[in-house]
Structure 1
């Protein structure tokens, strides 16, 4: 019970935002530097006590969670109807660049509340929180399906389980190395990508993550809709597919299936409205009931099979030699492909680490351990079901559906309860891993008009157009879809890791991450804010995998191209990592450590950074070119376009 509460609390802390000021907030302090104003919004004493007073009952909690955000008023009223509309639609930041006007798109993109470095008050994740986080996150239907992939390829149970262990050990390694920049500098993935790719090209990198997040949201919604199908069939009978006329022009989904998809899709919408930190009750519920449902399902299946397990290959083909070897590799890679999106945005949750080591050893140990435990449950259920039905099921929901062949009260009640638990688990996973992540990334793309809530609803709308039933038609199609994600995301991650570990050796200057000054480090000397060395390495990292990707889409390609594609994540990561490291050796990028040999790793510049006064330091940096003694950018004649626009608008007022 304590573990469940800690997991929910960890998620709450991960997604917590600063409290929003109400209409009576006093704008009591302005820092004035020349003509540039940095506004700090503060509450007066009465409003502060009212804001911090905890709700006394459940109804007050619901009202507080569901209320509209209240914004500070501008000193200057809107001049026309168009400006009124913009003021209504825009997301107001608590720390605005100007007190008297609406921020423009570039200003809010460079620095906003959602992407600011995390201060010490919210950095409260220690190793226990990361352990509970992964315990909670590992229990979902998708984990079961990944574990059964090897058995669909002709591997037996122990070969499949070895693949799971190896695959998730690699996953833990990549998660940890991508987490360090967030752990030490307390920045999210959209900001860390600016360092390697440039201030503006990072938009493309974040957009890739948004697209993959929307696809995953759609896939998880479809998996959740299958639990709705099971619940309805356990109540009204297994012939609902025939009783409801099928008007869908596809073999992969029926009208009944689409109806259930829309039911589950709609059931998620209310959860998207509430601020992330208020969803702790949902995740507490998930953490409590899902493990019981998983182990209960395993025990029930073993009992129905009288303890008999099919321990050999569950397919008619029995691969040997090189075929068996490549199937072994494909099964290993399915774990990496499944995690390719989460590996990339690991800084989004590592930025809340309490100490420099909070997110390192805990994730390295607990992640493969928990996914191996859940996977062996899936393997045993699949093996037991094969002895009963003679079918190699790759989804636990298919096994549950077979239990309804015998319409007894016990079977119908058991299927309903387990399906309900799995549905809650899918809803929680989808909100935590996809909608909130996509919403956060969208705040980096267009923060003037999109916050996490709006981004979540945009993600839900896009998911309707993805038609996930085609991706989930079979395990082979699902594996192909996962591999496609890895082709593009692995090379992105390779460049980011090479830039941090080899080129910069952990040396990051935070103030340069939030500015478009022409001579700042991460503008890379161009008005396009793009590191072309990173772009070239990223594109060339995709090229070797692309022929195999076409082959997976039934285009005829050489056999060796498919073998390269089977190793897609390693190929993309290592090629882009090596290319970027080599290019920067001959053509150095700004911000590299001075006086240190390129291959001299005895000196490491990564350091734990405190960001309590980051807003004030950013003001000084923008105006004076002062980044706290880490290097002067020059005179104030070379101000960023953001600061210049502030000055011009203030002069007009």
Structure 2
């Protein structure tokens, strides 16, 4: 066999392509006379067509116990421990090699859940994003955030202005973070590799995982309150006393804990479905919950005979600078509430069907819907104050008061509204928390964790968080929101600075999925860390840290607390500016060449098609050929043959 044929055969074996039609079903070795069918490792075999991957739990179990013996990687397990490991491994459909399961490092670099989304799965148009935010806005947590201003002594119109300003800022941040996912079809764990480095991104993702688990637990607890209302509307309001309380805390009873577990268990079946199918859930939720919300408003106004408390609902009547800072705190509650969703916006924008699917729709619908549901919450709270003389923070508390009069109409109305709110909480928790955490976990240990398993792990962790302590009062909840917004805002500032200023939208997708020492996002070290991003991230936290301690009860200067009240803006802007400065004096690899640092007339962002990304990645790993730079030809250098020989030795 001549040298050219050997080189071609080597390349085809490693990339699993047929020399005639490029299909992956068989690998052929080119010779002068004969053509023999080769298996994925270059050995002669009559049967090498890859079997269909197991789809169900039983097929996975059967495949682990009795694997296909034609593949040397599927030899019968030698012991019980190996059977368990094989059963737990995630089968990757888009594999970079012919192995039964990738190694830990290889699966971390590239796996099914983190691969760029191909056109078949990009099925979200602008309507899906509209439904997404309609369904996301109609939940109990939005009512509670909108009531924050009223708890601080603001009247209804001051509180509503804060809502508009806060959620317009949220929409801007969401759209800014969505573009990289929209155009390059990648998730947040991959976009974080670009700025922070392939390996340090693990720390960034871990931060998001922790906060996502906390939010999942909090939303589950809020959902459990809807379960409590449904049970009390059926069996009576004395369930808390009829069921003996054995809990050793004043923040939750045995009855309430039972409701928490019921709602927690009700979410588990919904965790099974893949992210792209959630558009149906958004559609259903966006139809049901608005009727419940407006019905609740009309019902409350009727009970209060149209009387509203339009002034301050507390004994506090702030003026001057105190009023101004309470105004700011109310605005920042919206940003703090969205800190996690802002960061992982690419997890949803990567499913966008067109260039603009996730851009204009989110910018318009997000502040509009949150302003609408917030004014409903403000009016309900104001009407309830005229009836009961209490400034209720949660709408569920108001709904519970309707059960004071045990009429058939009250019980039926409370049950239906509570059921609708429960569905709203379930949809919000799945879309905003479990999927995001599951996606992030696939970047930590994808050999054993995919999005579905990550969602179930998140659900398990949520049991240990005890959210009833966080939700004991609005002040505790606001403190918890502000605490992790400090860390996430700095992360987001670095990511946005890297994409918009430093790289001007120029991304090399192949380099996002490799740990080759000379790749762009390994930053010239084996540790895969961009020191500029790390330093800007840490320094962005520092100004907010004294105020964070002050929120925990430590005595700090007044000015430190005022800086902390602006936590998200402070963390984002400082990290953003510092990273830009560091990259100006110490440029990072992959910056546009021949373009001035402050020349924004050139923009390199482009809509990228990733239908053949798996094959292109194999070429990049073997021969360093980046499909984004030039068209690839079949002319192979001796380097390919040498790489092939080295691989065979390994």
TM-score tier by shorter-chain length is 0.7 to 0.9
Task: Identify if the C-alpha distance between structure 1 residues 410 and 608 changes in structure 2 by more than 3 Å, giving closer, same or farther.
Answer: same
CA distance in 1, matches of 2:144, 2:59: 39
Q: Secondary structure at the match of 1:115?
A: coil
Give deviations 1:261-308, integer Å, cap 9, x for gaps. Answer: 111111212222344556666544422221111010000000000000
Structure 2 residue runs of 5 or longer lacking an equivalent are 1-22, 31-37, 43-47
Report the equivalent of 2:402: 403
Computing the radius of gyration from Cα coordinates, the structure with the larger value is: 2
CA contact (8 A) 2:123 2:276 kept: no
CA distance in 2, matches of 1:530, 1:410: 62
CA contact (8 A) 2:26 2:39 kept: no
Structure 1 residue runs of 5 or longer lacking an equivalent are 1-25, 52-63
Q: CA deviation at 1:122?
A: 2.4
Q: Secondary structure at the match of 1:628?
A: coil
Task: Identify if the C-alpha distance between structure 1 residues 561 and 507 changes in structure 2 by more than 3 Å, giving closer, same or farther.
Answer: same
TM-score (norm 1): 0.87
CA distance in 2, matches of 1:96, 1:444: 16
Task: Identify if the C-alpha distance between structure 1 residues 581 and 389 changes in structure 2 by more than 3 Å, giving closer, same or farther.
Answer: same
Report the equivalent of 1:300: 299
CA contact (8 A) 2:245 2:255 kept: yes
Q: 2:78 aligns with which of 77, 80, 87?
A: 80
CA contact (8 A) 2:181 2:187 kept: yes
CA distance in 2, matches of 1:150, 1:495: 30
CA contact (8 A) 1:174 1:343 kept: yes
CA contact (8 A) 1:35 1:651 kept: no
Q: CA deviation at 1:454?
A: 1.1
CA contact (8 A) 1:199 1:513 kept: yes
Report the equivalent of 1:518: 517
Task: Identify if the C-alpha distance between structure 1 residues 278 and 509 changes in structure 2 by more than 3 Å, giving closer, same or farther.
Answer: closer
Report the equivalent of 2:20: none
CA distance in 1, matches of 2:614, 2:531: 30
Report the equivalent of 2:25: 28
Report the equivalent of 2:272: 273
CA contact (8 A) 2:60 2:87 kept: no
CA distance in 2, matches of 1:118, 1:557: 48
Report the equivalent of 2:463: 464
Report the equivalent of 2:349: 350
Report the equivalent of 2:35: none
Report the equivalent of 2:373: 374
Which runs of structure 2 are paired with 1:366-445 in the superposition (5 Å)?
366-445=365-444
Report the equivalent of 1:223: 222
Report the equivalent of 1:8: none
Give deviations 1:485-539, integer Å, cap 9, x for gaps. Answer: 2101000000000001111111111100000000100000000001011001001
Give deviations 1:440-494, integer Å, cap 9, x for gaps. Answer: 1111111100112211111011001100001101111111111112101000000
TM-score (norm 2): 0.88
CA distance in 2, matches of 1:114, 1:395: 37
Q: CA deviation at 1:616?
A: 1.3
CA distance in 2, matches of 1:258, 1:420: 18
Task: Identify if the C-alpha distance between structure 1 residues 280 and 121 changes in structure 2 by more than 3 Å, giving closer, same or farther.
Answer: closer
Give deviations 1:347-388, integer Å, cap 9, x for gaps. Answer: 111112222222211111111001100111000000000000
Task: Identify if the C-alpha distance between structure 1 residues 217 and 42 changes in structure 2 by more than 3 Å, giving closer, same or farther.
Answer: farther
Q: Secondary structure at the match of 2:85?
A: helix
Task: Identify if the C-alpha distance between structure 1 residues 375 and 32 changes in structure 2 by more than 3 Å, giving closer, same or farther.
Answer: farther
Which runs of structure 2 are paired with 1:433-512 in the superposition (5 Å)?
433-512=432-511
Task: Identify if the C-alpha distance between structure 1 residues 647 and 283 changes in structure 2 by more than 3 Å, giving closer, same or farther.
Answer: farther
CA distance in 2, matches of 1:118, 1:491: 27
CA contact (8 A) 1:65 1:274 kept: no
CA distance in 1, matches of 2:28, 2:524: 30
Report the equivalent of 1:601: 600
Larger mean CA deviation between 395-404 and 276-285 belongs to 276-285
Larger mean CA deviation between 250-259 and 311-320 belongs to 250-259
Report the equivalent of 2:620: 621
CA distance in 2, matches of 1:304, 1:629: 64
What is the root-mean-square deviation in Å for CA atoms of aligned residues? Answer: 2.8
Report the equivalent of 2:148: 149
Report the equivalent of 2:241: 242
CA contact (8 A) 2:118 2:611 kept: yes
CA contact (8 A) 2:623 2:639 kept: no
Task: Identify if the C-alpha distance between structure 1 residues 294 and 98 changes in structure 2 by more than 3 Å, giving closer, same or farther.
Answer: same
CA contact (8 A) 1:195 1:522 kept: yes
Q: CA deviation at 1:80?
A: 2.7
Number of residue equivalences: 603
Q: Secondary structure at the match of 2:25?
A: strand
Give deviations 1:375-430, integer Å, cap 9, x for gaps. Answer: 11000000000000000001000001111111111111111111111111111111
CA distance in 2, matches of 1:191, 1:292: 39
CA distance in 1, matches of 2:332, 2:27: 54
Q: CA deviation at 1:109?
A: 0.6
Task: Identify if the C-alpha distance between structure 1 residues 271 and 358 changes in structure 2 by more than 3 Å, giving closer, same or farther.
Answer: closer
Task: Identify if the C-alpha distance between structure 1 residues 353 and 69 changes in structure 2 by more than 3 Å, giving closer, same or farther.
Answer: farther
